[in-house]
Structure 1
């Protein structure tokens, strides 16, 4: 893992066309801005993990996945 220090307004480049920029820092919370082409999928890591786990469960089950349980886990308002 690469660990970098960045100040507000500074950023890092990831590959071609993706820039992650520090937009603000307040009360221990860092706000990030991500510039990327539209075809680049951007997900919060906890959301990607929940989708992965749901897909694994669904692939092992003959029944349809419980989307209500997934929504509650992700705290999605329906």
Structure 2
């Protein structure tokens, strides 16, 4: 269930611009920022870029994933 929340006008405008660039709603952009921030606070040893990329990858699902192949097991072609 959604809840109305008051935020700073500057933050709203930043979210609006970023949401348009990333094809999200403004609320979706703010939720994404909140998820990244929460995950970063829960995992302070991880770089923020890694946290963001991990959340994006999880949202994309396994159909877009590239399988990991260890170097020693690649086929010689």
- TM-score for both structures, normalised by structure 1: 0.33
Report 1 or 2 for greater relative contact order, CA contacts < 8 Å, sequence distance ≥ 6.
Answer: 1
More strand by share: 1
> TM-score, normalised to structure 2's length?
0.34
Structure with more of its chain in helix, by fraction: 2
